[in-house]
Amino acid sequence: MRIYKHYIKLPEKFRNSSIAIGNFDGMHQGHCKVISRAGIFAHERGVPWGVLTFEPHPREIFDIDKPLFRLTPFDMKARQIEAMGVEFLVVIHFDTEFAKITAEEFVDQVIVQGFEASYVVSGFNFAFGHKRAGNTSFLQIKGEQFGFGTTGIKQVLDDTGEIISSTRIRKFLLDGNPRAAGNLLGRNYEIEGIVSQGDQRGRKIGFPTANIKLDDHMRIANGVYAIKARIDRGPDTVWHDGVANLGYRPTFNGSQCVLETHLFDFDEDIYDAYLRVALIDFIRPEQKFDGVEGLTVQIKKDISQSKSILIDKQD
């Protein structure tokens, strides 16, 4: 998949494309349906299949006092989009200047002149242009004027009949329910990052951990999780079972949020490696122990419980 930072002067081979437009934070089943619909049209008509998204998320510009919990940072979002088979991804830099363009200008400059799009798919609630004046109905009118087809995907529901949304996924994660979040995503929720060197307390007590430092935008329940982790090694990448603690390590008066991952039957040096950690299930909240002995006893229990959970998950 090719990634472009602007819609101007796209290669000729990607013009006349079928594109999906949206922020797609979460890349949940609803988002995937929007992108898939653009792909169906592209395959039917023999035209390129693309996605148009925005970085940073518009809420980071307009709601600066409310730190945004990103479900899928850009690299993760791009990887998920590529895995669907999309041919090209255009990422528009969203700032206060871009926010000033009108809905009319967005259609004319981006969709018509930039993409020369033949088909445009968006979610039912997608809005664009200054003061969010453009919507799916506006796109349909403009499509008839300029000759491109449009589809607004209706709300996608889960097995309980409720709307699949990033808001619900965030709530499940905040409540310590990664299974429910994963059901809406269509995959396990992941945290990823570079493994940094810690104080090696885990290694000293027999449970070495790979640590990923997290920023304050992470808004999920602190605690211990049954996990699967994947070290980025290209074609040799494999998943490993494990257990992880997410939080501030109160037993040692920690001040920064860290994901500490212990991989079962694994003893390699992976400092500076890129680690993807999939949260399978929540085991318990983070807690403070009186000392190392109490912590060690609990870690053994956590490992046993995680192994049971992961065995059940395989069944």
Domains with residue ranges and CATH for the chain: 2-153 (3.40.50.620), 189-314 (2.40.30.30)
What the block records as the tokens of 296 is 């060690």
Enzyme catalytic residues: 260
**From the CB of residue 55, how many other CB atoms can be counted at a distance below 10 Å?**
16
Tens place of pLDDT per residue across the chain (315 aa): 999 999 998 999 999 999 999 999 999 999 999 999 999 999 999 999 999 999 988 888 777 677 678 899 899 999 999 999 999 999 999 999 999 999 999 999 999 999 999 999 999 889 999 999 999 999 999 999 999 999 999 999 999 999 999 999 999 999 999 999 999 999 999 999 999 876 666 666 778 899 999 876 677 999 999 999 998 776 677 899 999 999 987 777 676 889 999 999 998 888 889 999 999 999 999 988 887 888 899 999 999 999 999 997 765
Closest CA to 41 of 143, 141, 125: 143
Are residues 153 and 123 in contact, defined by beta-carbon separation less than 8 angstroms? yes
- Predicted TM-score of the model (pTM): 0.90
